[in-house]
Amino acid sequence: MPAAIDDRRVRYLYEAVAAGSVRAAADKMDMNPSVVSRQVAQLEAELAMPLLERHGRGVRPTDAGQMLVDYYRQHTSHQDDVFNKIQEIRGLARGHIDIVLGEGFVSDLMAAPLQQFWKQYPELTVTLGLAGTNDVLRRVAQDEAHIGLVYNPPIMNGIRSRAAIRQPMCAIVTPDHALATMQRQPLLKHVAEHPLALMQSAYGTRQIVDLAQQMDRIHLVPKLTTDSISVVKHFVKGGLGVGLLPAFAVSQEIEAGDLVAVPIDNSVLAAAEAHIVTRLGRQLSIASNQLLLQLISTMQAFRDVRQRKGKGRA
């Protein structure tokens, strides 16, 4: 057993697991596959235990291998965080922040929050990645993103919710739609009477709708299923039917008077929440933490629906 783990060899293991095979890892690192195999084999010999399981489609880590992969990922992210903090102390305010989010947050984020942030940190760059609910959590947990914006996430080990605010699911309709002119909040059975556009099952918006169906013992048959909120908006604006989304996802259309968000009389849909998440234990850089606070304080998604101004009924 070595006195210390060789981080260089752990990197070969990490790349093989991340890429799914030794050959793919070698291609990424621009070297011969035998080099990667040899380094992993030497690490296995030093630790006296297998770290990779080989199978027809590539490789996957053993329990010990997964521990080393997690160690390397966290070690690398910690190095990046420390480097960014040192840069900030030197007054350079340079660096990069990775954000992964559901599509419904995009319009909200691209308005005042990022504009104000870049005024304070003009040299910082940001990557925005779009993903479904489960993938947002995975990418944050695996340090592929510093910050995640997610709707109605399940509880997941290793994830810290930095802010959570109730954002009910609503029926998104045109102002003259029958659901918008009802004298009471519609029930889910009223919504089911109209053509529906729903997101795919990987998204938190669809997962909570499915749960609400079970509670009300109603089976919704969507006329349109999509992985794009933009498609849902066009479906509704075109007069084709009803979309089910939180109000903040259509805030610009509500402000313009094109759409309204009608709360639905259903306890499950009413309890849905928007979350901003980071990996539990990750120390964000000063700039990343500043952006986190900026998002919490300025995004409509993190304002109580009772305080939100606008023309929608939500």
Domain CATH number, residue 47? 1.10.10.10
Torsion sign (Cα): 110, 113, 114, 115: positive
Q: Could you tell me whether strands 273-279 and 147-151 are parallel, antiparallel, or unpaired per DSSP bridges?
A: antiparallel
pLDDT at 1: 52
Q: Are residues 84 and 153 in the same domain?
A: yes
Q: Are residues 100 and 55 in the same domain?
A: no
Q: Are residues 36 and 102 in the same domain?
A: no
pLDDT tens by residue, 217-238: 999 999 999 999 999 999 999 9
Q: Which residues form the domain of 151?
A: 73-166+273-302
The number of distinct structural domains making up the chain is: 3
Domain CATH number, residue 78? 3.40.190.10
Q: Is the pTM of this model over 0.75?
A: no
* Final residue of a structural domain among 19, 47, 69: 69
pLDDT tens by residue, 62-100: 999 899 998 888 888 877 777 777 766 565 556 789 999
Q: Are residues 141 and 287 in the same domain?
A: yes
Does the residue 310 lie in any domain? Answer: no
The share of the chain scoring above pLDDT 90, in percent, equals 54
Check: CB of residue 179 under 8 Å from CB of residue 268.
no
> Which secondary-structure segment (H or E) carries 53?
strand 52-55
Q: Are residues 86 and 122 in the same domain?
A: yes
pLDDT at 3: 56
Rg over alpha carbons for the chain, rounded to the nearest Å, is: 23
Q: Are residues 155 and 298 in the same domain?
A: yes
Q: Are residues 133 and 159 in the same domain?
A: yes
